[in-house]
Amino acid sequence: MAPRFTPPPAEITMLEGGYSILVFVICFILYYKLRSIYKLTEYHGLHYFSNTFLFLGLAYFLRFIVFVFTHSSQPEFDDFRNLLIFSIAFMVYSSSASILYLIYSLTWRITEIFRNEALLHSLAILLTVLSLLSRPGSTLLIQAALLVVLLFAIVLNYKKYDTERKTMLGRIYPLYILTFFFWILNLLVSFRVFIPFEFRFLVYGLSILLLLIIAHRVLKKIG
């Protein structure tokens, strides 16, 4: 028999649902706009940067699906557990791919010899398998490690940004910093020991604000 779960209060469901849908919509607007700018400029970094938001949007769509599944009081189908595991796995994969694309969009010139997105997706799949086979909380630790690598890539590119502010990298560089802080906020929410549940609304509001600032810059064609 499928396990029964205690449904969360309606306001929590509305908060989680509203937040996930907003992130999903903003991310796909960003993806579409960045792709159109990439087609005009043919700057490879924008191709990888746009995919960051494609997979980020997918991750947050699946995040809400997982939230609904894990708080369903009466699952009505036999394959509930398998569907839940699949949703969690694809959510972890999408999150990992999003951060990896963000890292690669900063380092693609350095790693040009390895320019093969299949390798990136293979790494995301490997990280997903490791997180599912490891103890609970390993997913957060893996994402934290990826964010450390991202921070290193951001710092590594600061000199280029400082000397080439009028280039495409110089114009989009601040967006990497904003996206990094978005990930940090959402990672901290996952570690409830650091962020009390009562402050989740504030953190979600700040996260949406960061995405809106990014969207504003992108819709102005990264002005």
Tell me the per-residue pLDDT of 8-58, one tens digit each, with 9 for 90 and over: 566 677 777 889 899 999 999 999 999 998 888 888 888 999 999 999 999
The yes-or-no verdict on residue 108 having pLDDT over 70 is: yes
Q: Is the pLDDT of residue 163 over 60?
A: yes
Q: Which amino acid is at 39?
A: K
At 84, give phi and psi (nearest 5°).
-65, -45
End-to-end CA, the chain: 56
Task: Determine the longest span between alpha carbons in the chain, in angstroms.
Answer: 63
Span 81-104, mean pLDDT?
87
Which tokens go with 38? 């990439």
Rounded CA-CA distance 47/102 in Å is 10
Instruction: Determine the pLDDT at residue 71.
Output: 64
| Average pLDDT over every residue of 71-94 | 72
Q: Label residue 2 by pLDDT band (50, 70, 90).
A: very low
pLDDT category of residue 213 using cuts at 50, 70 and 90: very high
Confidence bin at 3 (pLDDT 50/70/90): very low
Greater model confidence, 98 or 161: 98
Specify burial of residue 144 (Cβ count, 10 A radius: 0-12, 13-18, 19+).
middle
- Residue 1 DSSP class: -
Residue 110, SS3 per DSSP: coil
Percentage of the chain surpassing pLDDT 90? 37
Q: How confident is the model at residue 123 (pLDDT cuts 50, 70, 90)?
A: very high
The pLDDT value recorded for residue 42 is 82
The rounded distance, in Å, linking the Cα atoms of 64 and 113 is 38
Nearest-angstrom CA–CA distance, 173 and 159: 11
- State yes or no: pLDDT of 91 exceeds 80: yes
